[in-house]
Structure 1
């Protein structure tokens, strides 16, 4: 499906005309936030998309699994909760009561499309339903903006899930999430189904951006994706190809059911539902290494 180019695709409402800077927020009470956890190095306030920083991938790379060594490093990356408390990323996929963990990486905290996606997740995959699946499942959301926005974002999206922030975008970068403002020509079902709430979500996201114009909602060109772990092992990854490419909720539920059915069988480890070891694993790993190298070189050039 051809992708639409241009600024109108970026967040469901266009690239927001606000300046994201490191100055102090004016309308959100920060007095109760633990200042000892605040570090400027944790934030990543990139410029909006430049043509030379647009990152594209081949179709097979969107489902390619990260290496075990890369995941080992990523588990040590610190994310922040709504109080700016830092926790290792690995803690998000550990629970004595749940064997399966879903982590959804959304775009920036002002993205209207992601507002609708969270609404779809909340209605079709609420925590109580996930907990009754086999195996019991939990879902966590990670965004790439300032963690100070999380409380208001939770309120405006009616989000029932735990939300964390990766403002440094270390996870997004190392996992190879795409950078672009494209969008599918076909509107995703999670927007169609919640079309009425999408308009409301759009105004809410604009309102949040207007009230917090001096706080970064995240890099507006950064896309996300979805990942699933079972018993601590990564089983599935989907990287968004563009700003409207979250995995549909019905597809996630179908995948969760399939995984549950396979749990009692003796099967090879499923590293990805769409990638099989056909003898080309080494070549795929090499391709992935080249892609990550490209991402890191772009970020390095932008920092110089």
Structure 2
């Protein structure tokens, strides 16, 4: 596993995907993601961390407004992979575990593009060390 030096805070970063592995491999390649990944298709970790799926939160007016403004700006939005079956209603998030495997930070997204800031994550990492 590679160690990342994020603002002077050393940590191991991994991506966990809950979809099909070939979709994860394609996404990692397209985004040039340098981190190792794991798949959890049964979503055991996803459920254990309290992440949920939500039609209401994925397709709310805030999300539609965000997509509309991105299209207006000329941003190319990611397209669903037509050859893969996935769940577009799953909500994601971020989690930090300490060296002993204890959950020390959890951020459950409330809408699809909701993620903690880098500074928020760095502060959480610093508080663990």
The TM-score with structure 1 as length reference comes to 0.34
Which residue in 2 is equivalent to 1:155? 29
Deviations 1:48-87 (A, max 9, x none): xxxxxxxxxxxxxxxxxxxxxxxxxxxxxxxxxxxxxxxx
Matches within 5 A, 1:262-273: none
Supply the distance in 1 between the matched residues of 2:61 and 2:121 (Cα, whole angstroms).
19
Q: Partner of 1:236: helix, strand, or coil?
A: strand
Which residue in 2 is equivalent to 1:215? 84
Matches within 5 A, 1:47-66: none
Q: What's the offset of the Cα at 1:230?
A: 1.6
Deviations 1:174-213 (A, max 9, x none): 322122142584999xxx9xxx8x924x2xx31x61xxx2
Deviations 1:208-230 (A, max 9, x none): 61xxx2322x3111112111112
Matches within 5 A, 1:10-159: 127=4, 129-130=5-6, 132-133=8-9, 136-159=10-33
Alpha carbons 2:98, 2:128 under 8 Å: kept? no
Query: Is 1:247 paired with 2:123?
Result: no
Which residue in 2 is equivalent to 1:236? 105
Query: Is 1:177 paired with 2:45?
Result: no
Which residue in 2 is equivalent to 1:26? none
- RMSD across aligned positions (CA): 3.1
Q: Partner of 2:75: helix, strand, or coil?
A: helix
Which residue in 2 is equivalent to 1:39? none
Q: What's the offset of the Cα at 1:236?
A: 1.5
Supply the distance in 1 between the matched residues of 2:124 and 2:48 (Cα, whole angstroms).
25
Structure 1 gap ranges (5+): 1-94, 99-126, 261-304
Which residue in 2 is equivalent to 1:199? 75
Q: What's the offset of the Cα at 1:259?
A: 3.0
Query: Between Structure 1 and Structure 2, how many residues are aligned?
Result: 119
Label 1:230 to 1:163 Cα distance change in 2 as closer, same or farther (>3 A).
same
Supply the distance in 2 between the matched residues of 1:229 and 1:222 (Cα, whole angstroms).
22
Q: Which has the higher helix share?
A: 1
Query: Which has the higher relative contact order, 1 or 2, with Cα contacts under 8 A spaced 6 or more apart?
Result: 1
Structure 2 gap ranges (5+): none
Label 1:131 to 1:246 Cα distance change in 2 as closer, same or farther (>3 A).
closer
Label 1:258 to 1:171 Cα distance change in 2 as closer, same or farther (>3 A).
closer
Q: Partner of 1:238: helix, strand, or coil?
A: strand
Q: Which has the higher strand share?
A: 2
